[in-house]
A and B are shown apart, each in its own frame.
Chain A
Amino acid sequence: MNDLLAGCETAIRLILTADPEVLNITIRTLQITSSSVGISAIFAIPLGAVITFRNFYGKRLLISIIQTLYALPTVIVGLLCYMILSRSGPLGELKWLFTPYGMVFGQTILIIPIMTGLTIAALQGIDPGITDTIRSLGASHLQFLKTHLREARFAIMAAIIVGFSRAISEVGTAVMIGGNIKGHTRVLTTAISLQTSMGNFSLSLALGIILLAIALIINLFMSFLQNR
């Protein structure tokens, strides 16, 4: 308990004094996470729409696989991406290993299944009467997809929030691909992991509180958007 209180104290102190290292880590966390969420959304949402509205052999199997990938351990994703981004791997030429670019790559891969799957769920939850109405109004294929996405926008926004949460809170991928290099690839979660392993519990908790504060701000912003 003492650590918890000390953690709260430390968090407030770090925020108020704008501690440079914490600021550095926090901004990098936001940059990496928002990039991966943005890129994921660009892939996942249209992909989810196409899968939902096309009937093909093995569709249910594909959806099952996507949902299974929700449970991908972050370390495994980290390991797989490491093998891909390594100099001796297929994308080694990009030299993204141990850089924030590589971390964005890894996190994007991590959250694409979740965002795709939840987009599919959001679209499948639309009243079939809506689909009939859209079709009977003579929508082109693109208009069909866009209208459905708009109709499901609240659920899709929830999917984005889930993706964001998974990305900002994961350690395994960030540490394997980024290497937790101070001043370069250290983010909130890897810093927390390091401080914990060093026994500095109250600092870890402080960083955790800061992470949650960020998530809270983002969520408030999202719900503000939804209510307009």
Chain B
Amino acid sequence: MNGSFRMCIIVLVLGTILLVGGALAEKVESLGEHNADRLLIATTTSLDATNLLDLLEEKFKEQTGVTVEHVAVGTGQALEIAKNCDADIVMVHDRAAEDKFIDEGYGKDRRVFGYNYFLLVGPEQDPAHVTGLNGTAAFKAIKQAAATDPRVVFVSRGDNSGTHSREKLLWKKAGYDYAEVNASAWYREAGAGMGQTLTMTQELQGYTLTDSASWATYESNLSLVPLVGNDENFLNVYAVMRVNEEKCPDVNTDIAKRWINFMISDEVQDILSTYGVEKNGVPYFNPGRGSADVMGVTVEETSDKVA
């Protein structure tokens, strides 16, 4: 065969080789190095949203030459990925899930590096009158108001994220059976990340629970307002742990340990204390250093270097 068909084949093959093999200029970084110089973090969208991780990864690379990458998914999926040995580090904000992860032998050397608060955000008119109430009282108010006022709607992440777990806990603390709440007409499960959930909440003019870092990132696009926050029920503690090499022999243990120490190092804790203050007024993440009491954890967890 000859003519245009052969030419077409040649172009296809050449094109494939060219594009696959060639990196065009410095603008394209190389494809997939998967060797000792790579650390993969499975983390949550709330940590990713502020671009904090991008910044820290850059600094780590400067210091150690190691490329760090992260995949941002829900807490549930992050822990699953780690269990499958597809990540070296896990950074989430769900104490109960973390405990289970460690107890099952997958996680080691957990350190708590930062915290912020969840916020209950909602429409300015606040039909459920939650303003000024504390965490559990606010949830109670929403449920009761919803019974009579059709304007009152609660939107949930519904995706096993850290935020979702906290929300379920709060319903329980308020004295309700979650299954019942879940089945109510005024309860909407978004099954989505924080950004999308907030957008949906805005459209429905409803209430939702969000972490403050995500809120700070998205609030400019939204007309919702924060109504309840800074309550001990809304404490949101972020931890980092590494995947146990006994369960996952290919894990980059040395680098993982260095990352954990990096996260609780003074340098990073200093960064956290100022990160976001300009735009947000307060840091996106309060440094964990020295705040063990506030967070309800041991001092060792905030400062003990990993051997």
Contact = CB atoms under 8 A, between A and B. Distances in A.
Contact of B28 (A24, A87, A157, A226): A24
Contacts of B277: none
A59 interface: no
A225 B85 contact: no
A149 B69 CA distance: 45
Nearest to A178: B71
Contact of A86 (B12, B86, B217): B86
B218 A31 contact: no
A97 B38 CA distance: 13
A67 interface: no
Nearest to A33: B19
A197 B248 contact: no
Contact of B71 (A27, A87, A98, A100): A98
Contacts of A166: none
A88 B8 contact: no
Given A28-B28, A99-B34, A228 B69 contact: no
Give 3 nearest A-B pairs by CB, closest first: A99-B32, A179-B71, A38-B16
Interface of A: 20, 23-24, 27-28, 30-31, 34-35, 37-39, 41, 86-89, 92, 95-102, 146, 150, 153, 157, 160, 179-184, 196-200, 225-226, 228
A interface, over-half SS:
helix
B76 interface: no
Interface in B16-59: 16, 19-20, 24, 27-29, 31-32, 34, 40, 49, 54
Nearest to B2: A150
Contact of A101 (B1, B11, B32): B32
Contact of B19 (A35, A99, A184, A197): A35
B7 interface: yes
Nearest to B14: A38
A87 B32 contact: no
B8 A157 contact: yes
A113 B219 CA distance: 44
Interface of B: 1, 3-5, 7-8, 11-13, 15-16, 19-20, 24, 27-29, 31-32, 34, 40, 49, 54, 69-73, 83-86, 192-193, 195-196, 198-199, 217-218, 221-222, 248, 250
Nearest to A104: B20
Nearest to B251: A87
Nearest to A218: B15
Nearest to A28: B28
B244 to A, nearest CB: 13
A197 B29 contact: no
A179 B53 CA distance: 15
Given A38-B13, A98-B40, A197-B196, A184 B85 contact: no
Contacts of B196: 196-197
Contacts of A28: 28
A157 B9 CA distance: 10
28 contacts: A23-B27, A24-B28, A30-B19, A34-B15, A34-B16, A35-B16, A37-B16, A86-B84, A86-B86, A88-B83, A88-B85, A96-B32, A97-B86, A98-B40, A98-B69, A146-B1, A160-B12, A180-B71, A181-B70, A181-B71, A183-B29, A184-B32, A184-B69, A198-B49, A200-B221, A225-B11, A228-B4, A228-B7
